[in-house]
């Protein structure tokens, strides 16, 4: 302890030097040696005096007691006009209080902060919690206060027991609280219980906990909402102070979505701000469910069905038409071993249980399927986040009688006419887009064009034209329509879902052709994997994604997220990350840290609401120009569910307990009396520090040191001792 004190070490060193110097002076044979030692001692004592930084205190007799005035600005003070009652109290009584007391003002919720008396009228009740324990402990440590005036509703949700600080408080507490004999009539959402994530199209349950006061026997309506859309509603009869209601919920969209629970306010309710609460649900896949209908047996169906069945992340239900209605059977239908095609169940009910719907070379009109069923396919894509793929053939697109049906809304091409031929003949596809996830069948972006050009030829092509708004991936350069190459592959995002058109049914040649060359045919597998993942909206088609470590945050808590880079070609690029706060203010986040998986970023929200993180990675110089990959994630910042939100009864019992244990008083704002406050505080004069002066800063002492050393030097020179 002593060694760590630099002042003490300095003093020891100076004493050591002083003793040595005195010994040297004492050995000299001179009549002034004792005078020199005296001058040296005086210099040393002066220096030691300054090292310990002495302070001169000026006292005065205090005639006005000094008080700290603490104003509670937590959320509960915003209910029933409580903060307004406090402001009204100050308008009426502040001049009187300042006539008898010297005042320092503080606002507090979790922590206390100083405010000026002219700022009281602008205080707002928006704190997340009330920590009376911490506030009293901090303020009462100031020895100059003679009393503390505490203006609060007494709703203390500190995690420390207030009884532990009573013994530390040496001044009286004057407790002032709003005059509310009855608790506000209120319905308050307390908690929303749901799984951290759910599976797409798998039912889950959302449980809502809410508190009620003053509405026993009344019926309330509770809504589950997505933005302004009501997804479900419940009616609940209140039979206790705390109750729960449950919703059955099925998510149909992959990713993180924001929902809300809302209790419809009752006419007599005094507090409405706690009737609404937002929450997040992340939807993931258990498996991607694929429905595949093929109009007749084909090599395309054989290879594609085998690929889907062999992929453990995919689940397939498929139908291949072996006998069309116009085919003649020599035995009655009931004696056939083939099952009838269940078109009604598929197009009216089962369709919505799948993620991807594939139609290959299937003419719906042959089965007398109503055109209205095509509307359900449109709804599947636009409203249910489904993926739709039509594969070419002599009974697909316009030749399958899909032209002028609702299917046109979701097909990303202009279809051929029923009379136009299906163009037979081999051709190599020409890649038109080099950056779309579907065409990325290699991790090496620079080799994509080479890989695609090396793929075996396809055979047969639909006469398809580009549709405005669609993305053309590949064309048949040998088939021209109005001077433009016929579209072989095109994609489009439509409504909440995605669609794709492939104008041929011979991609199986990529597998078989490579096998004949003694190669694996992995390009075929990777292509179809990309197609199904992209159509289903799966994360695996993204080249990087944002991962948030947790989903529930409170204001002031740091949020950490990762940018996980899945593609090697993006690892050297630096991402651009922006944050949109609940007020739609856009901020660019700069504090990114490189990690093996990609990047780590952080930000600290200062208010509740929805924050959207958006990241972009742009690379240049790859074949056809620049490429931008992006991802977004949202997080909801919510206040802690504590007694600020639902237990709104003014806790006058706690205020009186605090006053009793500190020899103070506790009364309502309306019953305040300056005489009672004077009596509780007392007006005895006593000395207090008025001014402190550090002597180490006084230049006269340094002049004395200089003078003593100068006199010693002159004497030594005159006596010839230098």
> From edge to edge, which strands make up the β-sheet containing 102-108?
112-115, 102-108, 66-72, 147-151, 173-177, 665-668
Is residue 451 within a helix (H) or strand (E), and if so which, with residue range?
Answer: helix 448-453
Q: What is the average pLDDT across 11-19?
A: 65
* pLDDT for residue 165: 85
* pLDDT for residue 358: 96
The backbone torsions φ and ψ at residue 622, rounded to the nearest 5 degrees and listed phi first, read: -105, 100
Among 274-283, 313-322, 339-348, 470-479, the range scoring the smallest mean pLDDT is 339-348
pLDDT tens for 469-478 read 999 999 999 9
Report how far residue 380's alpha carbon sits from residue 399's, in angstroms, rounded to the nearest whole number.
Answer: 23
Q: What share of the chain is helix, strand, coil (3-state, %, to 5)?
A: 30, 35, 35
Report how far residue 163's alpha carbon sits from residue 178's, in angstroms, rounded to the nearest whole number.
Answer: 23
Report how far residue 358's alpha carbon sits from residue 339's, in angstroms, rounded to the nearest whole number.
Answer: 20
- pTM beyond 0.85: the answer is no
pLDDT tens for 323-364 read 655 544 444 445 444 556 677 888 888 888 899 999 999 988
Contact 76, 155 (CB under 8 A): yes
Enumerate the β-bridge partners of residue 99: none
Q: 682 or 103, which is more confident?
A: 103
Nearest to 171 by CA among 134, 133, 144, 135: 144
Among 58-72, 416-430, 572-586, 691-705, the range scoring the smallest mean pLDDT is 691-705
The answer, yes or no, to whether residue 168 has pLDDT greater than 70, is yes
- Ordered DSSP codes for 652-696: HHHHHHHHHHTT-EEEEGGG--HHHHHHHH----EEEEEEEEEGG
C-alpha angle with apex 645: 643 to 650, nearest 5 degrees?
Answer: 60
Contact 602, 570 (CB under 8 A): no
Contacts of 437 (CB under 8 A, 6+ apart): 530, 533, 534, 541, 542, 543
């Amino acid at each position: 302890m002593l060694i760590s004190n630099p002042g003490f070490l300095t003093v020891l060193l100076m004493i050591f030097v002083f003793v040595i110097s005195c010994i040297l002076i004492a050995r000299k044979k001179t009549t002034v040696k004792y005078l020199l030692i005296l001058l040296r001692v005086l210099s040393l004592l002066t220096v030691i005096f300054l090292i310990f930084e002495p302070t001169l205190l000026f006292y005065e007799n205090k005639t006005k007691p000094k008080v700290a005035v603490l104003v509670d600005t937590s959320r509960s003070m915003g209910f029933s006009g409580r903060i307004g009652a406090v402001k009204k109290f100050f308008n009426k009584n502040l001049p009187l209080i300042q006539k008898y007391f010297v005042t320092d003002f503080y606002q507090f919720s979790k922590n206390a902060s100083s405010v000026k008396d002219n700022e009281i009228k602008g205080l707002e009740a928006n704190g997340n919690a009330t920590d009376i324990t911490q506030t009293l402990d901090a303020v009462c440590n100031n020895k100059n206060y003679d009393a503390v005036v505490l203006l609060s509703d007494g709703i203390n949700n500190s995690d420390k027991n207030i009884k532990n600080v009573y013994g530390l408080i040496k001044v009286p507490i004057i407790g002032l609280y709003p005059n509310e004999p009855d608790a506000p009539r209120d319905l308050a959402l307390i908690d929303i219980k749901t799984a951290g994530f759910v599976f797409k199209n798998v039912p889950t349950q959302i449980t809502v906990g809410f508190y009620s006061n003053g509405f026993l026997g009344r019926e309330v309506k509770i809504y589950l909402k997505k933005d302004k859309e009501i997804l479900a509603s419940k009616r609940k009869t209140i039979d206790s102070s705390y109750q729960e209601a449950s919703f059955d919920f099925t998510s149909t969209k992959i990713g993180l979505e924001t929902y809300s629970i809302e209790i419809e306010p009752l006419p007599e309710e005094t507090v409405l701000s706690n009737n609404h609460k937002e929450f997040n649900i992340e939807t993931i896949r258990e498996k991607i469910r694929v429905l595949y209908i093929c109009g007749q047996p084909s090599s395309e169906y054989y290879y594609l069905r085998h690929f889907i069945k062999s992929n453990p992340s995919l689940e397939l239900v498929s139908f291949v038409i072996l006998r069309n209605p116009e085919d003649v059977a020599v035995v009655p239908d009931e004696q056939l071993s083939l099952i009838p095609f269940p078109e009604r169940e598929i197009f009216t009910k089962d369709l919505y249980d799948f993620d991807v719907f594939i139609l290959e070379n299937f003419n719906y009109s042959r089965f007398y399927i109503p055109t209205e069923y095509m509307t359900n396919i449109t709804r599947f894509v636009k409203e249910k986040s489904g993926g739709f793929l039509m594969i070419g053939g002599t009974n697909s697109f316009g030749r399958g009688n899909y032209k002028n049906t609702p299917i046109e809304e979701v097909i990303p091409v202009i279809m051929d006419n029923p009379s136009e031929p299906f163009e037979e003949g081999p051709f190599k596809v020409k890649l038109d887009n080099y950056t779309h996830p579907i065409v990325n069948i290699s991790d090496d972006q620079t080799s994509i064009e080479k890989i695609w050009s090396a793929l075996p030829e396809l055979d047969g092509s639909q006469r398809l034209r580009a549709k405005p708004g669609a993305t053309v991936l590949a064309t048949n350069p040998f088939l021209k329509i109005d001077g433009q190459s016929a579209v072989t592959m095109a994609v489009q995002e439509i409504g909440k879902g995605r669609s794709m058109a492939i104008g041929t049914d011979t991609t199986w040649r990529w597998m078989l052709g490579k096998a004949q060359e003694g190669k694996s045919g992995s390009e075929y597998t990777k292509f179809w994997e990309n197609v199904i993942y992209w159509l289903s909206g799966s994360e695996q088609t993204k080249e990087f994604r944002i991962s948030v470590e947790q989903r529930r945050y409170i204001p002031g808590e740091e949020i950490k997220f990762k940018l996980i880079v899945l593609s090697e070609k993006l690892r050297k690029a630096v991402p651009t990350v922006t944050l949109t706060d609940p007020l739609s203010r856009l901020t660019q986040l700069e504090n990114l840290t490189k990690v093996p998986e990609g990047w780590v970023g952080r930000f600290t929200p200062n208010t509740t609401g929805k924050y959207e993180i958006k990241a972009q990675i742009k690379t240049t110089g790859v074949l056809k120009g620049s490429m931008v990959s992006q991802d977004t994630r949202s997080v909801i910042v919510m206040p802690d569910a504590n007694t600020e939100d639902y237990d709104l009864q003014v806790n006058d019992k706690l205020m009186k307990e605090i006053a009793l244990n500190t020899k103070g008083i506790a009364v309502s704002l309306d019953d305040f009396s300056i005489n009672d406050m004077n009596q509780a505080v007392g007006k005895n004069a006593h000395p207090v520090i008025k001014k402190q002066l550090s002597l180490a800063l006084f230049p006269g002492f340094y002049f004395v040191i200089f003078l003593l050393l100068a006199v010693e030097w002159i004497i030594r020179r005159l006596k010839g001792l230098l």
